[in-house]
Amino acid sequence: MKLELKKYLYDIKESIDSIDHYLNGKRDFNLYQSDKMLRRAVEREFEIIGEAMNRIDKIDPSLDISSKKQIISMRNRVIHGYDKIDDEIIWGTIIRHLPKLKKEVETFLEYKSSD
């Protein structure tokens, strides 16, 4: 695996870990929605995740990561449609999709670290 690809996978993992840290183990949508700084921090991490995924897709489009196109699309919405960000969609992504993405990325990093 190219070093550049590993870097982007690592960036995704770091952003997911940061989101987990920001939430401090509290899976409380009302708390998330009421804290503007928390929302902005999470949105920024989604920008990083989406940009890293976009770069991964350009380097190796065959890399099988579930929801790759949706992740890139979310990044575009967060950046370009900042005034139309839906907190419920962001929250749903945190709860339903980030754990799976984290596992996939960690698997790629572990598997490919032996290359």
Q: Report the amino acid identity of residue 11.
A: D
Nearest-CA neighbor of 72 among 96, 89, 94, 48? 48
Look up residue 2 and give its DSSP letter: -
Catalytic site residue from 21, 39, 40, 75: 75
Residue 111, CA atoms < 13 Å, CB-side half-sphere: 9
| Tokens matching residue 19 | 């989101």
Catalytic site residue from 44, 55, 77, 80: 80
**Is residue 80 annotated as part of the catalytic site, yes or no?**
yes
Active site amino acids: 75, 80
